A and B are shown apart, each in its own frame.
Chain A
Amino acid sequence: MLDYTSRTLENGLDVIVHEDHRSPIVAVNLWYHVGSKNEQPGRTGLAHLFEHLMFEGSAHHDSGYFTPLQEAGAALNGSTNCDRTNYWEVVPTSALELALWLESDRMGYLLPALTEEKFENQREVVLNERRQQYENRPYGLALMALMAALYPSDHPYHWTTIGDTTDLRATTLDDAHAFFRTHYHPGNASVTVAGDVDTTRTLELVARYFEDIPAGMPPPRVLIHGSGTTDVKPNRETRLVLEDRVELPRLYLAWRTPALFAEGDATMDMVADLLAGGKTSRLYRALVRDGRIATDVSAAQSSRELTGWFCITATAAPGHELAELEQVIDAELGALSEQGPETQEVERSLAQVEAQFVYRLQTLGGFNGRSDQLNAYNVFAGDPGFIDQDRARYRGTTTDSVQRFAARQLGSGDRVALSIVPQGEAQRALPGSELARVS
């Protein structure tokens, strides 16, 4: 579905080029295979803070990353999650070299420009990002409580990408320099150029800008501590409660599930859709439409590199309690595990997945555009052309496999149940919930 040409430079940088001449624009997309899973306890939040520092200038252009690109008509941004950090620009064709110059300068020559002043400023910005997106937002601390409960304290998914406030305050400029030297080098990166370009010329151009950057040492492998496997199972339900400035109580049920591209990962996507995707879904009907005991419900398989997690979220309607919601959800999960889905339900989900694969092809750049997908497949599957196999994973889903994986993954009592309730109403949590620890 997605044509490309790729090569690897001597310093280890993967280069991928995708041609499309419909519009005079080019997307540059650069992935570093580093995320919050590569952090150490005590220094959480560093990968994301570091992403901010990448926009503050590099040795040969030490006056901000945005100005020359915005002056060239670019859109640009970056993001960090637990597994990777990405950066992208979408520029008019004639500004491709400008984008490559700037990206290569911050890959090769960031540290001489990375000062204490910039570091302190961006730490304050990130603390404000944390306040805005998590602390001052209803239900905003749910993810932190869930991750902390799903994974033991030395597991790389135990903390969230935004990091702990205490850790962010304790992080030093030296930590940032060390982080860059460990993770930000060509061998740990993949660059895609997509759009109105000539493949041969573009491969040469990218090589010219990046080939002089020295290869780094491969970063240490991320180890899963605790039981030593990707599956850490305390083998019981953990019940937690968090009081928050909210009007209505909300229940989160979370399970550890297969990793990205592992067996069962795609099926769990379909399970999520059958359960809570749209007005025909099982949980929407049972909780919201017919039962009228919840105001909303959602479900998602979060596919991650080391291990996945699956979450069902539902908010209690006024006059109803989370225990009622839990009972209905468990009954629906039981029915799906015991009887399996209707053929029609699986067909409907598949039709939507098929359409999504096409809709995703509409944009070249930005988050989830074609350039981002090529890098994602390259970094996580080792093959930029993995999109066809990715689609095949869904096409192979059957009523049987849905039933089997729903039963296997969601059937045991091994899960985290988090109740977020209005302040002063801790008694509205599921019975036996302990206070969640978040900071």
Chain B
Amino acid sequence: MSGAVDRTTLPRPGPAPSVRFPAISTARLSSGIELRTVEHTGPPVIQWLLLLCHGSAADPATQPGLAALTADLLDEGSERRSVLDLHGALDRIGARLRVHVGPDTTTLSLTTLTQHAAAGLALLGEIATQPRFDSADFDRVRTLRRNRLRQMRTVPSAVADRVYIEALYQGHPYGHLGIGTDTALAGLTIDDVRQFHADTYRLKTGTLIAAGALTHERFRQIADAALGDLSVGGGRADGRERVTPGVPAEPSARLVVVNRPGAVQSEIRIGHVAVSRRTPQYHALRVMNMVLGGQFVSRLNRSLREEKGYTYGVRTGFDFRSAPGPFTMHGSVQADATVESVREVLDEMTALGGARPVTPSELDVARAALTKGYVRGFETAGQVARGVVQLVQHDLPADEYDQFVPRVNAVEAADVTSVAATHLCPDQAVVVVVGPAEKIEGGLETLNFGAPVRLEA
């Protein structure tokens, strides 16, 4: 291997590595909890994930924020342990606890060293099923969340996210952020939290997922020992274990401006309700999105960043949920380029399904970026465990990940054009701009979206 490097052509990489998702073993613990385990070699780290099929969409209509507040209170002490004892126990084994409430699910995640796998899981079970729910803690944590809501009013991206989702899903279970609203939080009581927990934290309907450097058998033994005698509750009284939200009504507004006087940039969201994770067009949509705005070399980022310099970067994406989730372009652009940027996003959404369909080289890059890089997504125990979450949450077949590469490679230019024409709907899009209203409103009116609705942060 000597001699000068040939700099006239780039080295050509070989074929994509074949991807086999590691085997997932399923078992049921003596307490009734379903367990899914993955053997994943690497550093001595174990990822435990407890997946519950309720999220912020399960908030009662008049109580947005209840699911997230309940989740936030889980680690404020248990029946047996004060908050200091509980966190002391987590800290002493170097465990990392994360509780995440999404629209459709709640996940409790605990990362720990393999040697502390059993102790970590026992703590996770205690946190999920035996929270203390002390009324003083309730009052304090609720106040912290109300203060956070207040602070979010000055964060342009947080304002844009909230206003956008409220406009898109008016009156729908997806129509609020997980944190909820100040009015709703003010009206909640500790009894609401206790009742919500009793109704939804029924581990019998949830799934415990484990990934790391242990065998399936060892995982099962540890889980049985740690959680075997846990009281896990029955099904819901009404028998509805999973409630998938229905179709939302028309958006409440098409063009919303939240005034941020003197702001140097406009924070922008553009999009509409799209598809659920189980859409048969999933792979074609992934490819199409890469072309439009899903990667650095996408049409929108190339144009708005690399050619015009209007932004640090823009992205588009489908939020694939249990029920149809949003397709969204998001980004922040210099204030004087607001109208031109919005117009360009809408134009590109139209063009990809018609006047300027995907080119052969764009298609190659989009498919290759998804397929050849796919194996990178399963490097850590945490990534593998979250892969299992997707399968369980959306009830996907066990070979879903093994089929990803061939299915993406089967997406042709005509498929991209077709899903762009069908699933990108600029004429139904909602546009939200958080920026200096006095500078941008006149121009936004020329978009033919009607007069902007002006909101306060």
Contacts and interface: CB of A to CB of B under 8 A. Distances in A.
Interface of A: 22-25, 59-61, 64, 66-68, 70-75, 90-95, 97-98, 101-102, 104-105, 109, 120-125, 127-129, 131-133, 135-138, 201, 204-205, 208-209, 212, 245-248, 278-280, 288-289, 292, 295, 315, 317-318, 344, 347-349, 351-356, 358-359, 361-364
Interface string B5-26: 1011011111111000000000
Given A136-B264, A318-B150, A71 B364 contact: yes
Contact of B147 (A64, A212, A318, A347): A318
Given A208-B2, A247-B153, A73 B379 contact: no
Contact of A131 (B7, B94, B307, B334): B334
B379 A355 contact: no
Contact of A212 (B5, B156, B297): B5
A91 B11 CA distance: 13
Given A138-B151, A295-B148, A351-B91, A128 B43 contact: no
B375 A92 contact: yes
Contacts of B296: 66, 70
B381 A362 contact: yes
A98 B94 contact: no
Nearest to B6: A101
Contacts of A133: 312
Given A138-B151, A208-B5, A92 B373 contact: yes
The 7 closest A-B CB pairs, nearest first, are A73-B372, A355-B94, A124-B309, A94-B14, A73-B373, A95-B13, A24-B17
A337 B41 CA distance: 44
Contact of A61 (B10, B144, B148, B380): B10
Given A23-B378, A25-B17, A356-B94, 9 more contacts: A64-B297, A70-B368, A75-B373, A104-B5, A131-B332, A136-B264, A208-B2, A358-B44, A362-B42
A133 B75 CA distance: 32
B92 A351 contact: yes
Interface residues of B, number: 79
Contact of B1 (A91, A98, A204, A363): A204
B449 interface: no
A248 B150 contact: yes
Contacts of B381: 362
A348 B1 contact: no
A354 B312 contact: no
Contact of A137 (B5, B84, B155, B376): B155
Contact of B264 (A131, A201, A295, A355): A131
B299 to A, nearest CB: 13
Contact of B5 (A101, A131, A359): A101
Contacts of A289: 83, 140
Contacts of A97: 11, 13
A204 B41 CA distance: 29
B282 interface: no
Interface string B291-318: 0000111000000011111111000000
Contacts of B156: 136-137
A4 to B, nearest CB: 16
